[in-house]
Structure 1
Amino acid sequence: MTTLRVVVDQMAAPVPGGIGRYTEELTQALIAAAPANCAVEGIVSSSSEADYASIEERLPGLASLYKTTLARRELSAAWQLGLSTSPGPGMIHAPGLLAPLRRHDRVNSGTQVAVTVHDTLVWSHPEAFTATTVAWTKGMIRRAKKHADAIVVPSHAVAAQLSEIVDLGDRVRVIGPALSRTFQLPGAGLAGEFAAQLIDERLGALNLPSEYILTAGTLEPRKGVAAVIAALGEPGAPDLPLVVLGPDSWGELNLATVADEAGLKPGRVQAFPTLSNEDLALVMSRASAFVYPSLDEGFGLPMIQAFQMGTPVIHSDAPALVETSGDAGFVVERNDADGYPRRLAAALTTVLGDRELADRLRVYGSDRSRAFSWRDSAERVWQLHADL
């Protein structure tokens, strides 16, 4: 029996975040796509029995769960120094940089370690992270350069950016993520009338405007949400409310203040800090347009969500977003910060004012969303380890 051990520790983190969701989805797919006579095991830091039970419940089919003797913080520090032991020889896949990276003999012992780098933001935008996170990430990249057998990245854009930071040779593999299996409209699978009733109930609970522009992110400058708000204050910009998928504040900034400075009426900007996947799909599906203005990303997952829901997408020309879109979105140049809101406003006016263009973007986006699946990602991970 061949075993692939996946570091699932982020699933038990206090705030799992994007890597936690990625870990869960990928591991589920790896279990489902496991070749004959192959199994998937998990590796987790010393945690509570409730955390262990939660991981095993969310990963049905997991062969076993290896529990290290170190808690998460200590394990992270130990692996950064190459001090901690792992379950033994064999294949290890890390959905992040947290991995037992140390000297090993891949040929004779069969041990191999693959890690994942989701973006290069600690280099391009270190101000968005704590000093501890920046130092730990850079330290783990140095260990990956020495000891990782493969480095998975979500896009060719990240591969190119990473190559300018560290020489990893031919070990980098591009394997993109996909949408959650639970990202679907409320009542999916129910009879039409029951699904419609459930959707109406959720719409009432969410209190959405009848028409609105949708964006995602925080007021962190890199995310570009403030530029979208400023765009709606431009002369001739569409007179629609803005719904933000994200918190209503970042540091000392808040959406209401930024909207007021842009000349928008009170209440025109509404935030949804957290939504279930069903509610998120519903909010995506009802938007007149989805704007993803981020200046730098490793992948554009929210764009894929909008594509699947048939919503026209407007996005920046950040390399990873252009790659994710594959010509299915309306691209806006992000350089020249002062002119960015004006260009976003022009893009919104163009897309919302041209029904034929909007319909074409919906069709292109729907087609593009089919290019991403967890099954495909999992099969490529299995193939990667087989190649190693």
Structure 2
Amino acid sequence: MPELVVLTEQLMAPVPGGTGRYTRELVTAMAQSPPPTWTVACVTATHRDLSAADVPDVAGPRALPLPRRALTALWERGVHLWPGGDAVHAPTPLAPPAPRRGRCMVVTVHDTVPFTHPETLTRRGAAWHQAMIQRAARRANAIVVPTVAVAEDLARHAPGPATVAVVPHGVPEPFRVDIEPALAQATASRLKLPDAYVLAVGTVEPRKGLDVLIEAMAKPYGPDLPLVVVGPRGWGEVDLAALAERHRLAPGRLRVLGRISDDDLAVVLRRAAVLAVPSRAEGFGLPVLEALAVGTPVVHSDVPALVEVAGDAGVAVPRDDARTLAATLRAVLDDGPGTERRVAQGRLRAEAFTWQHAAAELWRLHTRFFAMASAR
């Protein structure tokens, strides 16, 4: 029986972030719909506790005989340690140098930020991602990207013979189902949510543009609402409280929830007056899609991937423009009929994005390239 091995090391990261959510959703969906005779397993580096990488109905997690840092260095230097399986899917650029003979490998590249906005990453992080993405473009059987915008950037910055397939993300289940009002109210009370608020969702790091959002919220013509921020702290020492003080955002108007579960996030998104996504660079923008699915208005930056995902259901503003962001947030809140129309469009748009579709596309790639590799 052929086996697909998914590298789930991102689930073990201190801050799994959006790529961690992608990894879990994708491997779960692929395990639910394997082609006949195929099985799915997950593999990580060596850790004392592998429970964070445990996925229902997936074999493993199995640990390779190296800790994360050593495994990363080994693959970076081109050592061909194969993680097992007949096909390997790498949900991030952390991947073997090339597929083994008779095997195939597909790598997901979430964005081209290391090439287009290297200043929003650490110097080491940008260089590592550039090298690994360029190598995958040369040696992997296929590269999966979430948007056409990323595919176009990839062709400019990391051209190669690998097939490039655009496979959008899906809407996770908690954002597709109705929530019992009593449960939603209990969650809101536990999280001490304001009655109405502007929401931002994402890892707290420089490229998310939260400094611009806080400046916008402090403008006198911006929304007279609290700002709620959801997401773990990332790199870059972005101090939201210090930013609020610098821009004179009134005390008590900033509420930082940190990392929360998807079930809690579904409640927080539904109760938000508007989702603000002021990112400087993105490859997809899953919070945009989730907000559309639950019927929350979205104001986002003009990053091409965000425009692509939101379509006409979102309102785009120029990056790094706090004045326009403030005025647009206020306008969306004040424009009842226009906002209702975009919300309805957003719900319909989100229905087309499913993890089942993403899994089917990934299986199509793996079975195609495994058959080709086996025939050689």
Q: Single out whichever of 114-123 and 87-96 deviates more from structure 2.
A: 87-96
Matched residue type, 1:383:
R
- 1:179 paired to 2:171: yes
What do residues 107-164 of structure 1 show as CA deviations (whole Å, max 9, x unaligned)? Answer: xx2x111111111112223233333322322221232133111111111111111111
- In 2, Cα distance between the equivalents of 1:258 and 1:227? 9
- Give the conservation status (yes or no) of the 8 Å contact 1:76–1:98: yes
1:210 aligns with 2:195: yes
Report whether the alignment pairs 1:36 with 2:17: no
2:120 matched to which residue of 1? 128
**Which of residues 145, 148, 160 is equivalent to 2:152?**
160
Deviation at 1:54, TM superposition (A): 5.1
Quick one: which amino acid aligns to residue 122 of structure 1?
A: P
Query: Compared with structure 1, are the counterparts of its residues 30 and 250 closer, same or farther at alpha carbon in structure 2 (3 Å cutoff)?
Result: closer
Work out whether 1:138 is the aligned partner of 2:130. yes
Question: 1:26-65 alignment to 2 at 5 Å?
Answer: 26-48=26-48, 50-51=49-50, 55=53, 58-63=54-59, 65=61
Partner of 1:196: 181
* Equivalent position amino acid for 1:380 in 2: E
Residue of structure 1 equivalent to 2:18? 18
In the alignment, which residue of structure 2 is the partner of 1:192? none
In the aligned structure 2, how far is the partner of 1:247 from the partner of 1:21?
13
1:350 aligns to what?
A: 331
After the TM superposition, which of the residue ranges 263-272 and 298-307 deviates more from structure 2?
263-272
Shift of 1:221: 4.3
CA, structure 1 residues 248+379, in 2 after alignment: closer, same or farther (shift >3 Å)?
Answer: closer
Structure 2 counterpart SS, 1:199? helix
Per-residue Cα deviation, 1:177-222 (whole angstroms, up to 9, x for no partner): 223334467x94xxxxxx3332222221211111111123466443
Q: What is the aligned residue count? A: 369
C-alpha contact 2:107 2:136 (8 A) present in aligned 1: yes
Match of 1:256 among 230, 236, 241: 241
**Cα-Cα RMSD:** 2.4
Kindly indicate whether residue 317 of structure 2 is the aligned counterpart of residue 332 of structure 1: yes
Task: For residues 254-284 of structure 1, give each alpha carbon's deviation from its aligned partner in whole angstroms, at most 9, with x where no partner exists.
Answer: 3333233334321112111121212211111
62-71 or 169-178: which moved more? Answer: 62-71
- Between the aligned partners of 1:87 and 1:235, the Cα distance in structure 2 is 56
Q: Which moved more, 1:353-362 or 1:136-145?
A: 136-145
Q: Aligned residue for 2:374?
A: none
Post-superposition shift, 1:67?
3.2
Determine the C-alpha separation between the residues in 2 that align with 1:248 and 1:167. Answer: 33
Contact 2:138–2:162 (CA under 8 A) maintained in structure 1: no
Contact 2:200–2:276 (8 Å) recurs in 1: yes
Distance 1:329 1:245 in 2: 20
Q: Is the 8 A contact 2:141 2:162 kept in 1?
A: no
1:261–1:136 CA distance, 2 compared to 1 (3 A): closer
Mark the CA change 1:262 to 1:375 in structure 2 (over 3 Å): closer, same or farther.
same
| Distance (Å, rounded) in 2 between the aligned partners of 1:295 and 1:11 | 25
Pair 1:80-2:68 in alignment: no
Contact kept? 1:150, 1:171, Cα under 8 Å: yes
Name the aligned partner's letter for residue 167 of structure 1.
P
What SS does structure 2 have at the residue aligned with 1:75?
helix
Residue number in structure 1 paired with 2:373: none
Cα distance in 1 for partners of 2:64, 2:196 equals 51
Q: 1:64 to 1:263 in 2, by over 3 A?
A: closer
Identity of aligned residues (%): 41
Equivalent residues of 1:328, 1:365 under 8 A apart = yes
**Does the Cα contact within 8 Å between 2:203 and 2:231 map onto a contact in 1?**
yes
- C-alpha distance in 2, partners of 1:45/1:248? 23
Look up the match of 1:296.
Answer: 281
- In structure 1, what residue type is equivalent to 2:258? P
Give unpaired runs (5+ residues) of structure 2: 370-376
Amino acid at match of 2:148: H
Q: Who is 1:366 aligned against?
A: 347
Q: Whose Rg is larger?
A: 1
Distance in 2 (alpha carbons) for counterparts of 1:318 and 1:5: 33
Tell me the CA shift for residue 22 of structure 1: 1.6
| Contact 1:4 1:40 survives alignment (8 Å) | yes
CA–CA separation in structure 2 for the residues paired with 1:12 and 1:351: 39
TM-score, normalised to structure 1, is: 0.87
Preserved contact between residue 5 and residue 85 of structure 2 (Cα < 8 Å): no
Q: Which residue in 2 is equivalent to 1:227?
A: 212
Alignment TM-score, normalising by the size of structure 2: 0.90
SS of 2:173's equivalent in the other structure is coil
Supply the AA of the counterpart residue of 2:359. A
Map Cα deviations across residues 1-22 of structure 1 (whole Å, 9 max, x no partner): 2322211222233433322222
Greater RCO, CA 8 A, separation 6+: 2
> In the alignment, is the contact (CA less than 8 A) between 2:149 and 2:283 conserved in 1?
yes
